[in-house]
Structure formats: C-alpha cells, structure tokens
Amino acid sequence: MWPNKSGKVPKGFVIVVRKGVSTMVSALDDYNVANLGFENVTIFVVSTTGQGDPPNNMRQFWRFLLRKSLSPTMLTNVRYGVIGLGDSSYRKFNFAAKKLNKRLAQLGGIELLPIGLADDQHDLGIDAVIGPWIHKLWEKIAFIYNIPNININSNGKQLFERYDVSIIDDCDETSTTKMVSCLETDIYMQEMITRDDMKLGVIIENTRTTAEDHFQDVRLIKIKAESITYEPGDIIYVRPKNSLKQIEKFFNLLNDNNVPLHPDMIIQISEKEIKVPCVLKQSLTLGEIVAQYWDLNYRPRRSTFEILCEISENDLEKEKLYEFTMPSGQEELYDYVTRPRRNIIEVLADFPHTTSKLNIQLLFEIMSPIKPRAFSIASSMKSTKDEIHVLVAVVNYKTKLLERRLGLCSNWLANLKVGSKLIFWIQKGTFVFPSNVPTILIGPGTGIAPFRSLLLEKAAMKQDLSSCLLFFGCRYKDKDYHCKDDFIYLADKAGLQLFCAFSRDQEHKMYVQHVIRKNNLLCWKFLQNGANIYLAGNSKDMPNSVREEFIDLVKQNGKLTHEEAVNFIEQLEKTNRYQSETWS
C-alpha cells in the first residue's frame, strides 16, 4: 500500500520508558539504535507502506535489526510492545508491525503485551484498538515499576504542553486582505536551505481531464522545475495550504468567542518537551501558521476532546466532552466526527464556552499540522525534461452536514494558476520496473498515473511497447478517459496493447477484471513469458477482484486446482512479479 491520495504518509516511531519511568519519544530515523539493547521498555508505533514494507523513516532501523551478526540474546533485558497503524482493506494489513514484532522476539526481547493491530476500517477507526491497548500497556508498566493508582483517564488539570509559545508582537488588525497575504508566502522556503531534496516548482499547466458535466473533476497538473531526477514509479510530495474560506472561518470563530488572537500576531516557539519542527523555528505570523501549518480540515480524535474537556468550565459542554473521551462514548464520537467528516473548526463552533478558554499555547496542543500529500508521478523525464506531471482527483462530496466536504490538497492543487509556485520533493515509489520484462498494467481511474510515466519513458527510449498490456477503466469513454490521446498514440505508434473498460457505456457494468477475463489467454501467454503484473488504484474492491480474476485465469489455462492457482499468484507476489500500489 502507499499513502492515500488524501495524504496519509506512513511513519514509525519509538517510545522508550527508562528506569525511574522517565520517557523519550523519537521518530525511528532519529533514534540511536545502538541504545536499543540497553532500554528497559520500548514501545513501537508503526505503519506499513509499499508491498508490506516499513515506512521510509523506519528503513534504516529495520536494516539494522535484520543484520545476521546480531546476537539472539541482544534484547534479553528489553521489554517491548508493538502497535501497528493499518487498514484492513490492504492485503498486507499491518505487515511492517507484524514483522517487527516477530524480529524483536527473535532477538530475545520480552513481549510486554500482544501486538495491537489498529484498523482504519473499523467503525471507530484506529482508536478502537489503540484505546484498550494503551490501557493494558499502562497496567503492565504500573505493575513492573510498582506504581500505585496509575490512571490514564484522570480528569485532573495535567495538560501536556509540547512547546513554549509566546507572542512577540501583538497586532489586532484583522482583514481579508491580511489573510490573503498569509497565503502568498511559503513558510517552508527556509527549510529548503537545509534540505537538498526540496525543490521549487512552477505550475505550467492545470488541465481538467474529465468532461465539464462529469460528476468528478480530475486534473492533469504539470510542474516545471530545474535539476530534478526521477524514474517511473516515483512519488512526488507536496504540502498544501488551507483555503481562504477556511482561514476566515477559523479567525471568525476565535473572534466570535472572544479569543484575542489575530492573523498579524508574530509567534515565537521554543522547545519545552518535544523537539520543535524546523518550520516553526522561525518567527511566523499566526495567520501564516493557520494558513500553512495547521490542518483546518483535520477531524479531531479522542485526544483533542480530552484537552477540551480539561479546559472546559461549562457543565453541559464538559459533560459531553468527557463522554467523548470514555470507552463507552466512542460510538457516539464516531457518529459525531467520523461519519459526517466534521472538522476541527466545526467541532470548536459546537462548544463555544470551551472554545472561549483557548489561547495560543492550547491551540498548538489541539491543532494538527498539515501532512505532506503523496502522488504518483505521471510523466517521464526522458519525454518531458524538467517537468513533473500529476493526475489529481479533486475530493468534493456530501455528508449529512450542510457544507460539502472538500479535500484540502486536491482542491488547493486544482485552484493553482499557471505561474503559481510550490515546494515539493521526490521519493522512490513502491513499484520496481525491471527493464526488458513483459508487463501487464492495470490502472483504472487515476491509478493510470504511474503507468503513463512508465510507457512514456519506454516510448521516449524507442522501445517496442507490444510487450506491454494496459488495462484502463473509467465510467465513460467520452467523460473520464484520462490522458486519452497519450494512450491512443502509444497504441497506434509504439505498439502498446491497450484494453479499456468503460463501466457505464452499456447496460451491464464493465470493469477492468471483466476485460482481463475476455483476454485471459493473452494474459496467460504473457505470464508464461515471465511478465510482471502491476496494479494501481482504489483499494476498496478493485484489487481483490483483479486478483481473483488472475487466480481464475491461471487455474483455467494452467489446468490447475484452485489451491495451486492461489499458490501461483502468491509466488508472483513474493517474488515481486505481482505488485500493487493502492489507496483508500
């Protein structure tokens, strides 16, 4: 799996509990792995990416753990716990966490409590597993260190403040013009000085690939940048900004509740308990922080309600907030936040008396930073030098709430004008495309992006594309056939074998798996000739349907039993001949 198109980026971090119950929290790429064998209690929080791989910031740590020279008694005195953050719609659900848990045991570690496998597909989200797991964790730690009356649900005034936040210039002027100016800067420019991988790009084209009367707006966005290098399958990361409408709502909310904070205030942040992010080490206006650092579309989790509950002095609001923090109130919290996709601004508006108690320090505790969004690169350096193309489906949908839900990054990108600038960086993707190997490519919808990159690259190198089968799917041939001219050209001029499924252009729905079924003999021939299968797209139903179709065609054409056909496909997956990049 890979981060979804709305922007979730997999991470891993470690929590270390040392004697005297002092603790340390660290991202895994910042942790000194040489200390691991000397820790008392270590808690790992890990997500999964790629083909069941550890996240990028865990890869160096994981390579260390896999060293054959490590002693099987290395972690004999270390108690550990692992909790995975995953999504059960992916085949390799929480695979990285499972592998880590197993490896720690192989090195002699003492499992503090069974691995927790949090599932984003659960009605209550990952909190359904995380809450009970953390409760059991503290019970174990309390027993080990003989700590009486440890109570993680304490309602005492014990707020944990990460940073020291101060206002060094208190200006009270608020206007739409001032808020617009907060979007005209880029607070990450300074970070570019210390990060060689961060680049500045300019939008040179922003074209809608779907018909104007189609329900979905999809954009092919072209970015011009110098000194860039990438390969087919690579990923571009961008950090979006909030919309002017959301920024105005946020400051209007503060004003309506008599919170004396304004866009022009200059904020200074210094370290208190947690390392200050690089971007916050500079002096910024509150307007810039609201516009570019805090995610105003963020859906609050239980921890947010715990903080609000602690500061609330209104009995009615405090009672409801407390209910949302308790295990018995998680169903109601799900119905209030998750189901309707209620964001932080809307939540604060529903608790006005509590919101009136906010200050700049507390905002840094309840607000969540904008996370970078990842997109598959849809272009080839050999075809369009110094350009990166991305295919973006603009998120815009209804819930029971009055206002439509708009994806933060996709709408920001869709509204960028030619000449607009953005900061980005490139990382290796999960796909591995060996040269001179036949390929079967399945990319419905925007899943076509990495395959456009691959095919344009091959065509630019004058390679014959007859060894490539491309299965593309969309609703209508004339409404959402993304990059149609490119693929028709590659089929006509370079030999690409192109097969399309237009699901709504006939009475019965036709999906990519049905077109694969129609061409099962050709697919089998490709597999017999050593072809690799690559699949990209939405993780909901399509990946499993396509996989089942390949199992059936292997069974039918190879004269195998169902079990033998399943084993055949599983072997392709284990040897990276069947690769998937999907998102929810």
50 annotated as ligand-binding: yes
- Would you give the distance in Å from CA 254 to the centre of its chain? 30
Residue 60 has pLDDT above 50, yes or no: yes
322 annotated as ligand-binding: no
86 annotated as ligand-binding: yes
Q: Residue 24 forms beta bridges with which residues?
A: 16
d(Cα 500, Cα 497) in Å, to the nearest integer? Answer: 10
| 26 or 514, which is more confident | 514
d(Cα 182, Cα 285) in Å, to the nearest integer? Answer: 8
| 150 or 512, which is more confident | 512
| Amino acid 551: pLDDT | 98
Q: Is 361 left (phi over 0), alpha (psi -120 to 50) or beta?
A: alpha
513 annotated as ligand-binding: yes
Q: What pairing do the DSSP bridges indicate for beta strands 532-538 and 439-442?
A: parallel
42 annotated as ligand-binding: no
74 annotated as ligand-binding: no
452 annotated as ligand-binding: no
305 annotated as ligand-binding: no
Residue 6 has pLDDT above 70, yes or no: no
3-state secondary structure of 164: strand
103 annotated as ligand-binding: no
| Amino acid 142: pLDDT | 86
Neighbouring CB atoms inside 10 A of 23's CB total: 12
Among 34-38, 154-158, 312-316, 365-369, the minimum mean pLDDT is found in 154-158
| Amino acid 175: pLDDT | 57
Instruction: Write out pLDDT tens, residues 272-283.
Output: 877 899 999 999
583 annotated as ligand-binding: yes
d(Cα 356, Cα 258) in Å, to the nearest integer? Answer: 6
342 annotated as ligand-binding: no
| 420 or 583, which is more confident | 420
Q: DSSP letter at 358?
A: -
309 annotated as ligand-binding: no
Helical residues (DSSP H) of 334-483, grouped into ranges: 344-350, 352-355, 360-366, 408-414, 449-460
Residue 449 has pLDDT above 60, yes or no: yes
Helical residues (DSSP H) of 186-277, grouped into ranges: 244-256
Sign of CA dihedral 397, 398, 401, 403: positive
176 annotated as ligand-binding: no
- Would you give the distance in Å from CA 563 to the centre of its chain? 35
Which residues lie below 8 Å from residue 266, measured CB to CB, with a gap of 6+? 167, 168, 169, 171, 283, 284, 285, 286
Confidence of residue 30 (pLDDT cuts 50, 70, 90): confident
510 annotated as ligand-binding: yes
Write down the pTM of the prediction.
0.87
Residue 158 has pLDDT above 80, yes or no: no
399 annotated as ligand-binding: no
89 annotated as ligand-binding: yes
Percent of all residues in the chain with a pLDDT value above 90, rounded to a whole number: 74
d(Cα 286, Cα 261) in Å, to the nearest integer? Answer: 8
Instruction: Write out pLDDT tens, residues 303-351.
Output: 899 999 999 999 999 999 999 998 889 899 999 999 999 999 999 999 9
Instruction: Write out pLDDT tens, residues 364-407.
Output: 999 999 999 999 999 999 999 999 999 999 999 999 999 999 99
341 annotated as ligand-binding: yes
| Amino acid 73: pLDDT | 95
356 annotated as ligand-binding: no
182 annotated as ligand-binding: no
Residue 92 is encoded by which pair of tokens? Answer: 């390799």
Residue 151 has pLDDT above 90, yes or no: no
375 annotated as ligand-binding: yes
87 annotated as ligand-binding: yes
Q: Which of 303, 457, 297, 432 is nearest to 373 (CA)?
A: 297
456 annotated as ligand-binding: no
Q: Determine contact, residues 131/330, Cβ cutoff 8 Å.
A: yes
81 annotated as ligand-binding: no
Confidence of residue 148 (pLDDT cuts 50, 70, 90): confident
558 annotated as ligand-binding: no
d(Cα 43, Cα 78) in Å, to the nearest integer? Answer: 10
Host H or E run for residue 295: none
517 annotated as ligand-binding: no
